[in-house]
Structure 1
Amino acid sequence: MVTSKPHAILLASPGMGHIIPMVELGKRLLTHHAFHVTIFVVTTDSATTNSQILEQTSNLSSLNIVNVPPIDLSDKLPPNPPLAARIGLTIVESIPFLRSSITSIKDLSPPSALIVDMFGLPAIPMASELGMLTYVYFATSAWFSAVTVYFSAVDEKIMETHAESREPLLIPGCEPVRFEDTLEPFLSPGGELYEGYLQAAKDIVAADGILMNTWQDLEPSATKALRDNGILGRFTKGETYEIGPLVRTIEAKPEGGEKDAILRWLDRQPPESVIYVSFGSGGTMSENQMREIALGLELSQQRFVWVVRPPCEGDASGTFFNVSSGIDGTLSYLPEGFLGRTEGVGIVVPMWASQAQILEHPATGMFVTHCGWNSVLESVVNGVPMVAWPLYAEQKMNAFMLSEELGVAVRVKEEAGGVVGREQIAELMRRVMVDEEGVGMRSKVKELKLSGEKALCMFGSSHHSLCEIREACEVHLQSSDTKLSPACYSRVNTTVFSNVVSY
């Protein structure tokens, strides 16, 4: 029997920064907007942490999660390929499985729409030929979305001027992008990364709609510019929708269930007294930088929870694909005596911790973050100010927004040699945790927390956006012909998409 509910197919690209937003969007569509949802999860390994995240959704019986079989790329890529190349080719090679799976469920529940992130763009031609609406989900800021939309139509001479003169890149209706915060593809107009990102941008604006994990009160200028047909809206085929903040939800423990050791320790600390330090599921530091962070924490004389990963020289995204890689149970790379000197004051956690639970805890007073958008939103929705320490991709733009526009963070300054010293680290921590400056940041971020709650509630702006998407899917479901078209995945240009950078 064919269901009358709209059926959304979500394609989650490799990496927890891509999987988590898709899972949370799926939950929202299912529980608040009466969608039938199937999530295809593309992975490059069988990391246990990936499984833990997905298992948290198992109590939602109508949320179908399909793990795409891992793809062997060993004979298709050179040694140590760029991050974007590995993700892009993994998606392309997964399309035959995706097509076959969608075909098998069409009689029971014809899919109304395919929702992909920036790396899922190779699946859009297939979805269009299968009679589905296509949406691109930016699990990042409206500002970054605006840059991408503008880039799809900008004159290359403007980009050359930006790269050569190091002048800010002017984005209509939005904050300019300073050269020091610019995106890597923009540094080499006409180069491989540039051309790959340009093609991706053109494919994004040709979709039936663009979803963004943000809300109007957080980014009023960028969201307005994207919706305004006289500014950036004229570059997009479909509408843009602010649907955030969508962040990881915490599964309730059974009454009497045992708490995690970290949470038990946090229970014993005063309110807003603990610094949480984590650089995302993929972020890594050099051994020298790890040493300075440790000594900076000690010098700050503040309580802390620090999630550490083994040092990785020269690659800030060293554990992007497998958050468990390199774990050996030892912390020998930390300064001698550090663990003993900070016993009782802080906790060092190897590899992974439940970030959502830590940030929600009343004892957490600050977050030292790499400024990945998922982490930014999790901090904001819990009213926690930040030290912004961007590592790669669009994170420098996020850090600028947090520190300069919103006033909810202080930003790390680069130092000679590329290693941020312990003195600066300690100073920034104390500015947020002890000084009057931190009081103002805490007040501002709690205001944003309330505005985010309002956006998602009934009649809120983000709730309304998702209602608009449901309405479009219902209309499409009633009018579309569900007959399948011939296979099209072989036409996807793997070279174009393999050079789209990671965001």
Structure 2
Amino acid sequence: MESTKLHAAILSSPGMGHLVPVLELGKRLATHHGLEVTILVVTTHSSPAESQLLDPSTAPKHLRILQLPPVDISSLVNPDTKIVTLLAIIMRQARPSLRSALCAMEHRPAMFIVDLFGSEAFEIANEFNMSKYVFVTSTAWFTALTIYCHVLDKEVEGEYVDQNEPLSLPGCKPVRPEDVVDPMLDRTNQDYYEYMRIGVEYSLSDGILMNTWEDLEGTSLKALRDHKIMRSIVKVPVYPIGPLTKPVEPAGPNSELLEWLDKQPSESVIYVSFGSGGTLSAEQTIELAWGLELSQQRFVWVLRPPIEGHGGSSFFTSGSGPDGTPDYCLPDGFLTRTHNVGVVVPLWAPQVKILSHPSVGGFLSHCGWNSTLESVSNGVPMIAWPLYAEQRMNATMLEEELGVAVKPKVLPTKKVVRREEIEEMVTIVMESNKHGRKEMKERAKELKNSGKNALSKGGSSYKSMCEVINKDCQLRLESHKLQALQQ
């Protein structure tokens, strides 16, 4: 690698949801902006999908992937430890190996970027005299809530979910109590305090990068930049650099599925997937199956084992997955009755390849931000089915602000969504002669083009990333001049 290049180190916390956008940021910095990039990945136990992503042979020139040794946190957690706390502990324990990895580098990085769980490593960036940035792999609206949470903590009495009015965010759309992120559901849990700490530490950086773009979230971005109250808290520049999404995957073992899609009419298939961590109850799985069948629409459903037992004779066992996973529960005769219009895929499917396929016209999704961007970037409207994390906020934004989704009347985490409502939502999204579908599809295609333009040379996100790089290059130049004068 050329030592004359600006070297950026990017620290990723465990999990596909963090790893995918971090890798895409690294690739973009290396291929579009000419940086030398080292991605430092904190690992736990890698899944096959993670191992494939981290394969060094797939990395572009000037990008190196370095896996830090797994950390032992067994004495620091218990079965009740929630995810934000768990990730915070893992990232804390990984700091010694991070420091050692940086020390061992012949060409030390000048820029240090962490995802939102890595801000406690800023002290190491200071030791190595690196500029430091947070990369928020979600929305500007989520970023605003995270930053403002410690203010809400002083202003709001009782649990947020029990409030009668939406939570006010200066300059931004308010957040409904039922839409708050998971760490804000219980103010007595350590998860809440870790989340507040993360929001405060954003302002210890030299800037906040976000996986969004100007045209998508103009209001929230303006608030973070210009609103007097929000600006007094944020204090550092914000840089929308998205949409950074995973590229189209190779066909792999699902080539038969893609051949099936090739035979379907344009925009006639709804894709159903709840991501790597999304699992429904057995009862909800049954209702979803009936809803899909009643809609009479073509579908591809990536199905994971329900989180409850079979519960009786009303379940059809479709058989084990190819890797010996548990049986899947579906209504009696479902696969037989729908075999001409639907495909049920166990565990995994090449999502980006499916969403980019011309026959796909809708996406029933948990609204994780990676999946959301993959859908929007392909112009595919959605049924928003939020399950955890910040997905409730994403679902609200998709339906009410962006106009590219419909969602159930009651949150799926509060109540089983019945087959009649599922049938109605699928019909709305998939049939052009029904309410709102045409407008949703047109809006989705507008956002697809808008995101593409943002990333193109001269686009808003491209220029935003250039601004960060130019700022760092100028700082490095000034540092070299100062060192020369001192010598």
TM-score after normalising by structure 1: 0.87
- Of 300-309 and 49-58, the range deviating more from structure 2: 49-58
Match of 1:116 in 2: 114
Shift of 1:39: 0.7
Partner SS, residue 108 of structure 2: coil
Contact (CA 8 Å) 1:159, 1:186: kept in 2 or not?
no
Give the superposition deviation at 1:110: 1.9
Pair 1:469–1:326, CA change in 2 (3 A): farther
Deviations 1:388-413 (A, max 9, x none): 00001111111111111111100022
Work out which of the residue numbers 423, 426, 431 in structure 2 matches 1:429: 426
1:180-259 equivalence runs, <5 A: 180-189=178-187, 192-228=190-226, 230-250=228-248
Residue pairs, 1:62-141, within 5 angstroms: 62-105=62-105, 107=106, 109-141=107-139
The reply on whether 1:443 has 2:442 as its aligned counterpart is yes
1:346 pairs with one of 342, 348, 352: 342
Equivalent residues in 2 for 1:268-307 (5 A)?
A: 268-307=263-302
Contact 1:133 1:208 (8 Å CA) reproduced = yes
What code does the residue aligned with 1:280 have? G
Deviations 1:431-450 (CA, angstroms, capped at 9, x unpaired): 11112421110001111111
Q: Is the 8 A contact 1:309 1:327 kept in 2?
A: no
Query: Which residue identity does 1:437 align to in structure 2?
Result: G
Partner of 2:31: 31
Cα pair distance change 1:75/1:160, threshold 3 Å: closer
CA contact 1:20–1:248 (8 Å) conserved in 2: yes
Question: What do residues 236-258 of structure 1 show as CA deviations (whole Å, max 9, x unaligned)?
Answer: 232100001111112678xxx99
Tell me how many residue pairs correspond in the alignment: 467
**Alpha-carbon contact 1:310-1:326 (below 8 Å) kept:** no
Structure 2 stretches lacking a partner, 5+ long? 310-320, 481-487
Q: What is the rounded CA distance, in whole Å, between the counterparts of 2:95 and 2:388 in structure 1?
A: 28
Shifted more, 209-218 versus 290-299: the winner is: 290-299
3-state SS in 1 of match to 2:228: coil
Cα RMSD after superposing both structures: 2.5
Equivalent pair of 1:206/1:236 in contact (CA under 8 Å): no
1:315-372 Cα deviation digits (max 9, x unpaired): xxxxxxxxxx996245442223222222131111111111111101111100001011
Q: Aligned equivalents of 2:467 and 2:449: distance in 1?
A: 23
In the TM superposition, what is the alpha-carbon distance from 1:77 to its structure 2 partner?
1.7
C-alpha offsets along residues 83-123 of structure 1, whole Å, 9 cap, x if unaligned?
22322222122221111111111x3x220111111111221
Aligned match of 1:264 = 259
State how far apart, in whole Å, the 2-side matches of 1:450 and 1:414 are: 32
Quote the offset at 1:308 in angstroms: 1.2
Supply the AA of the counterpart residue of 1:182: V
Identity of aligned residues (%): 48
Contact 1:277–1:305 at 8 Å: present in 2 too?
Answer: yes
TM-superposed CA distance for 1:313, in Å, is 4.6
Distance 1:45 1:418, change over 3 A: same
**Residues 327 and 398 of structure 1, relative CA distance in 2, 3 Å threshold:** farther
Change (3 A) 1:475 1:110: farther
Rounded to whole Å, the distance in 2 between the matches of 1:3 and 1:285 is 50
Deviation at 1:223, TM superposition (A): 0.8
Is contact 1:162-1:168 (8 Å) kept?
A: no
Map of 2:463 onto structure 1: 464
Which one has more relative contact order, counting CA pairs under 8 Å at least 6 apart?
1
Post-superposition Cα deviations, 1:37-71, rounded to whole Å, max 9, x if no partner, equal 11112222131111123349715132101122222
- Residue 479 of structure 1 and its aligned partner are, at CA, apart by 3.9
Q: Who is 1:485 aligned against?
A: none
Report how far residue 162 of structure 1 moved: 5.1
In structure 1, distance between residues paired with 2:270 and 2:162: 40
> Once the 2 structures are TM-superposed, how far is the Cα of residue 263 of structure 1 from its aligned partner?
1.3
1:358 and 1:10 mapped to 2: Cα distance? 29
TM-score (norm 2): 0.90
SS in 2 for 1:50: helix
Aligned to 1:450, what secondary structure does the other structure show?
helix
Equivalents in 1 of 2:439, 2:177: separation in Å?
29
The match for 2:360 among 340, 354, 364 is 364
Alignment partner for residue 378 of structure 1, among 367, 374, 379?
A: 374
Q: What stretches of structure 1 of length at least 5 have no aligned partner?
A: 315-324, 482-503
Aligned partners of 1:364, 1:337: CA distance in 2, in Å?
A: 25
- Contact 2:362/2:381 (8 A) holds in 1: yes
Structural mapping, 1:144-163, within 5 Å: 144-154=142-152, 156-158=154-156, 160=158
* Residue 483 of structure 2: aligned partner: none
**Residue 322 of structure 1 aligns with which residue?**
none
Residue 186 of structure 1: how far off its partner (Å)? 3.5
